[in-house]
Amino acid sequence: MELSYIRNLLGGLALFLYGMHMMSEGLEQAAGNRLQSVLEKLTRNPFTAILAGAVITAVIQSSSAATVMIIGFVSAGLMPLKKAVWFIMGANVGTTITGQLIALDIDLIAPLFAFFGTIMATFLKKRKLHYIGIVITGLGILFIGMNMMKDAMKPLQDSAAFIRMMTAFSNPLYGIFAGALFTAVIQSSSASIGILQTLASQGLISLSSSAFVLFGQNIGTCITACIASLNGNRNAKRAAAIHLLFNIIGTAVFILICLYTPFIDLIASWSPNDPMLQIANLHTCFNILTLIMLIPFGGLLADIAVWLIPFKDKEAERTSTLIEEIPIGTSALAVNQMKIYLQEMFHLAEESFLSISDSFSNDTKCEDELIHTNEDRVNRLHFQISEFMKKLSHLDLQEGDQQQCNIIFRLAIDIERISDHILNLLEYGSMMNQHEIIFTKPIQEELDKMTENIQRCFHFLKEANSYQSDASLSFIGNLEQQMDDMCHTYRENQIQRLTSDTSDSKTTVIYSDLLTNMERISDHMKNLAEALYMTNIDLKA
- Domain spans, the chain: 331-532
Structure confidence at residue 290 as a pLDDT band (50, 70, 90):
very high
Cβ atoms of residues 376 and 507 within 8 Å: no
316-349: per-residue pLDDT in tens? 444 444 444 444 345 655 677 788 888 889 999 9
Q: What is the pLDDT of residues 157-213, one digit of tens each?
A: 666 666 666 666 778 888 888 888 888 877 677 777 888 888 888 788 888 888 888
Nearest alpha-carbon partner for 246 in 300, 183, 198 = 300
pLDDT of residue 325: 47
Range of 99-108, 149-158, 202-211, 279-288 with top mean pLDDT: 279-288
Instruction: Tell me what the mean pLDDT of segment 14-40 comes to.
Output: 66
Phi/psi at 309 (5° precision): -125, 80
Query: Over the chain, what is the mean pLDDT?
Result: 79
Q: Which of 199-213, 222-236, 388-402, 479-493 has the highest mean pLDDT?
A: 479-493
The CATH class of the 331-532 domain is: mainly alpha
Most confident of 161-170, 360-369, 428-437: 428-437
Q: Quote the percentage of the chain above a pLDDT of 70.
A: 79
Contact between 149 and 12 under an 8 Å Cβ cutoff? The reply is yes
Question: 395: burial class by Cβ within 10 Å (0-12, 13-18, 19+)?
Answer: middle
Comparing 518 with 224, the larger pLDDT belongs to 518
Distance CA(459)–CA(538), nearest Å, equals 12
Q: Quick one: pLDDT at residue 498?
A: 81
Q: Supply the pLDDT for residue 55.
A: 80
67 band by pLDDT with thresholds 50, 70 and 90: confident
For 189: left if phi > 0, alpha if psi spans -120 to 50, otherwise beta; the answer is: alpha
Write the DSSP string, 379-442. Answer: HHHHHHHHHHHHHHTTS---HHHHHHHHHHHHHHHHHHHHHHHHHHHHHHHHHHHHTT----HH
**Amino acid 315: pLDDT:** 40
Contact 89, 246 (CB under 8 A): yes
**Distance separating alpha carbons of residues 355 and 501, to the nearest angstrom:** 32
The pLDDT of residue 293 is: 92
318: Cα within 13 Å, side-chain hemisphere: 9
Condensed to tens digits (0 to 9), the pLDDT of residues 372-431 reads: 888 998 998 898 888 878 777 666 666 666 777 888 889 999 999 999 999 998 888 888
What is the per-residue burial (b if ≥16 Cβ within 10 Å, else e) of 417-432?
Answer: bbbbbbbbbbebbeeb
What is the C-alpha to C-alpha distance for residues 103 and 277, in angstroms, rounded to an integer? 5
Other Cβ atoms less than 10 A from the Cβ of 250: the count is 21
Report the range of poorest mean pLDDT among 134-138, 224-228, 431-435, 474-478.
Answer: 224-228
Rounded-to-integer distance, Cα 188 and Cα 222, Å: 10
User: Around 67, how many Cα atoms within 13 Å sit in the side-chain half-sphere?
Assistant: 31
Is 70 exceeded by the pLDDT of residue 312? no
Decide if 367 contacts 423 (C-beta within 8 A). no
CA distance linking residue 158 with residue 99, whole number of Å: 27
Residue of 535, 72, 77, 540 whose CA lies nearest to 346: 540
At 521, the pLDDT band (50, 70, 90 cuts) reads very high
Q: What is the pLDDT of residue 365?
A: 63
Cα angle, residue 322 at apex, residues 540 and 37 outer, rounded to 5°: 40
Q: What is the DSSP letter of 365?
A: P
The amino acid present at 292, given as its one-letter code, is: I
pLDDT at residue 72 greater than cutoff 70: no
CA atoms of 526 and 29, how far apart (whole Å) = 33
Cβ(189)–Cβ(218) below 8 Å: yes
Q: Tell me the one-letter amino acid at 265.
A: D
